[in-house]
């Protein structure tokens, strides 16, 4: 089903005055480590946009959701190092783990970077980037115990190298399930090139291991999805039953080792049965309202009708009879100005829209009605289409219109992807998309884990702001699975202005966001905070009680930045040989 991103108005600030540069120095501590950082570079055969995106999103610094005072990374000898931050320093507490078979696996052709993911207080999944996955017992990670490898496996066909992007541990009927999301890129054969219209495909491998005691693990299931465009976001729900993908193009299930993957029925076949039925009502819309018409049995009066309406829900029907409309409205409506009337056997319902947008349905999932175009809206559509057609080679799109900008000089940050960007939620058992949202006008900014009990949140650009959406683990078909939980004001334009940016992250409590350049600089953007003495806006004289600060962190070296993580108090920045801890709060 199609879902709408429902913005919470109380989390928006229409009077945001921008970020004020603060010259306050943030305490910064450093520690060097031997052997250097383990990372790989693109080879000559890894030249596609898919490869560049896969390498570009890789963060070599890992945080532990169960211990926020430390971070982990993998050195050039494939040892896992743990770094601990205190109020006055940061130090390497030692090597806690070792990826096996380094001498053999490091020579694998087109090897990717090693990766890992913490799934519980005592378990971590390690991947060497050369095709092997290792499940390790860490013990108490506060005591820097040595990790023990419990299980090793090469889950992909032909020992294909991959990167681990997410892992979840859960239980079903006293059996533990370890779900791993692995990603790699393949070259298309002739059939795939024709099907996907691409020379390369991004592949998401959904691998399942099972255990009765968390010590002995067995390979259980493999699922595979193909995407003609790379993804920006991919994560599993914490119950391990669903996969959420945000990408510039759609992903589709291609394989499941436990059950066949069936193609969706053609739209014509699925709709034939519905086309044979007469619609139960008709409706139309314009930019301001929805109008629905119902035909009732003879003899009914106004007293036989019941009507309940809230800003996003309607229950409208015949007393002790059928529902005319009932369920979640596609968009918000004004309750006070929405009305209904009855005349003879005809009932007319008028709903006033809050936002000027086109509704594909009145009630989400209700296909009993037939939409008829409003004459005014038809005229408006034709007027818009007329502006897109011309017999001139290079017409002026702004001719005859008063505009504060020239649409032929839009910035790069205003250009949307050529494909329709979508946010999809897949059911792992049925392979179907249970929820789908078009995000083509909302550019992806970053994702960040706000807690260990839910999937990572993602931040999308809405107008100039960055809005943080938290995916839910469970949701009904009529509910939206992503909730608006926070807003970073004007962050869409802020990020677009940073041409050398590589990483963007935010604190788990969304108190600040950080943009890191490829090297040396990190920019901290804090949420508005109250000030002791109110100020006045120079332009309109309005009193300003809060100020949002911007702070710049300049690192002492010019090495490339390979990893960034944040806690509510500290920013960690990893370079090839130095780890930095910047105390934000």
| Distance from C-alpha of 157 to C-alpha of 160, rounded to nearest angstrom | 6
Residue-level pLDDT at 540: 67
d(CA 272, CA 279): 13
Task: Report yes or no: 54 and 183 within 8 Å, Cβ to Cβ.
Answer: yes
Residue 26's SS3 state is coil
**By percentage, how much of the chain surpasses pLDDT 70?**
88
Instruction: Show the DSSP H helices in 398-522 as ranges.
Output: 491-496
Domains of the chain with bracketed CATH: 1-30+451-585 (no CATH), 269-389 (2.60.40.790)
In the three-class reduction of DSSP (H, G, I as helix; E, B as strand; rest coil), residue 336 is classed as strand
Residues in the chain where the model's pLDDT stays below 50: 265-276, 377-379, 381-395, 397-410, 412-418
Q: What local confidence, expressed as pLDDT, does residue 3 receive?
A: 67
pTM above the 0.85 mark? no
Only one residue has tokens 């990167």, namely 163
pLDDT for res 272 = 46
Query: What is the per-residue pLDDT for 374?
Result: 54
Strands (E), 132-280: 133-137, 148-153, 163-172, 175-187, 200-211, 218-227, 231-236, 242-247, 251-256
CA distance 437 to 331: 14
27 and 69 Cβ atoms separated by less than 8 Å: no
Structure tokens at 429: 């058992």
Interval 227-253: pLDDT, tens: 999 999 999 999 999 999 999 888 999
DSSP 449: -
- pLDDT given at position 393: 42
Nearest to 80, CA basis, from 21, 149, 49, 126 = 126
Residue closest to 31 by CA, chosen among 575, 585, 583, 584: 575
pLDDT tens for residues 377-425? Answer: 444 544 444 444 444 444 454 444 444 444 444 454 444 444 578 999 9
3-state secondary structure 221-264: EEEEEEECCCEEEEEECCCCCEEEEEECCCEEEEEECCCCCCCC
């Amino acid at each position: 089903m199609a879902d709408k991103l429902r913005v919470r108005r109380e989390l928006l600030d229409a009077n945001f005055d921008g970020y004020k540069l603060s010259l306050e120095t943030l305490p910064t501590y450093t520690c060097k480590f031997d052997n250097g950082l383990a990372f790989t570079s693109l080879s000559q055969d890894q030249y596609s946009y898919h490869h560049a995106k896969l390498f570009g999103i890789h963060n070599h610094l890992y945080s532990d959701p169960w211990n926020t005072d430390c971070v982990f990374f993998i050195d050039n000898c494939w040892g896992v190092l743990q770094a601990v931050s205190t109020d006055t320093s940061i130090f390497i507490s030692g090597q806690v783990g070792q990826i096996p078979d380094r001498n053999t696996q490091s020579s694998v052709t087109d090897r990717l970077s090693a990766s890992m993911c913490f799934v519980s207080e005592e378990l971590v999944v390690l991947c060497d980037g050369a095709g092997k996955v290792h499940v390790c017992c860490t013990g108490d990670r506060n005591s820097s115990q040595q990790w023990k490898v419990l299980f090793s496996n090469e889950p992909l066909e032909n020992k294909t190298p991959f990167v681990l992007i997410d892992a979840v541990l859960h239980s079903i009927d006293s059996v533990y399930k370890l779900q791993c999301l692995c990603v790699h890129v393949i070259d298309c054969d002739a059939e795939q090139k024709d099907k996907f219209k691409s020379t390369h495909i991004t592949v998401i491998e959904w691998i399942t291991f099972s255990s009765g005691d968390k010590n002995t693990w067995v390979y259980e299931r493999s699922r595979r999805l193909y995407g003609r465009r790379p993804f920006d976001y991919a994560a599993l729900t914490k119950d391990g039953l669903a996969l959420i993908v945000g990408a510039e193009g759609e992903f589709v299930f291609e394989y499941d080792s436990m059950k066949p993957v069936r193609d969706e029925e053609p739209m014509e076949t699925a709709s034939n049965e519905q086309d044979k039925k007469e619609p139960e009502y008709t409706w139309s819309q314009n930019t301001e309202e929805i109008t629905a018409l119902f035909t009732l049995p003879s003899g009914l009066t106004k007293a036989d009708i019941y009507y309940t309406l809230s800003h996003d829900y309607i229950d409208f029907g015949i007393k002790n009879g059928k529902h005319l409309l009932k369920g979640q409205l596609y968009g918000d409506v004004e309750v006070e100005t929405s009305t209904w009337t009855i005349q003879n056997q005809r009932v007319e319902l008028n709903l006033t829209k809050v936002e000027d947008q086109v509704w594909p349905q009145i009630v989400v999932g209700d296909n009993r009605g037939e939409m008829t175009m409003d004459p005014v809206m038809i005229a408006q559509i034709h007027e818009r289409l007329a502006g897109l057609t011309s017999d001139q080679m290079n017409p002026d799109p702004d001719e005859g219109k008063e505009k504060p900008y020239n649409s032929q000089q839009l910035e790069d940050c205003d250009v949307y992807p050529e494909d329709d960007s979508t946010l999809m939620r897949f059911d792992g058992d049925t392979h179907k998309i249970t929820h789908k949202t078009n995000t083509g006008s909302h550019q992806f900014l970053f994702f960040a884990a706000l807690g260990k009990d839910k999937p990572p949140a993602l931040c999308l650009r809405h107008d100039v702001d960055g809005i943080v959406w938290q995916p839910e683990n469970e949701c009904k078909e009529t509910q939206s699975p992503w909730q608006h939980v926070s807003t970073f004001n004007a962050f869409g334009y802020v990020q677009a202005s940073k041409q050398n940016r590589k990483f963007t992250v935010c604190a788990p409590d969304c108190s600040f966001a950080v943009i890191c350049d490829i090297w040396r600089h990190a920019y901290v953007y804090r949420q508005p905070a109250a000030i002791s003495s109110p100020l006045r806006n120079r332009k309109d004289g309005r009193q300003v009680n809060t100020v949002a600060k911007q702070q710049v962190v300049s690192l002492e070296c010019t090495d490339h930045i390979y990893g960034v993580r944040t806690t509510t108090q500290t920013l960690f920045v990893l370079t090839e040989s130095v780890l930095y801890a910047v105390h934000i709060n």
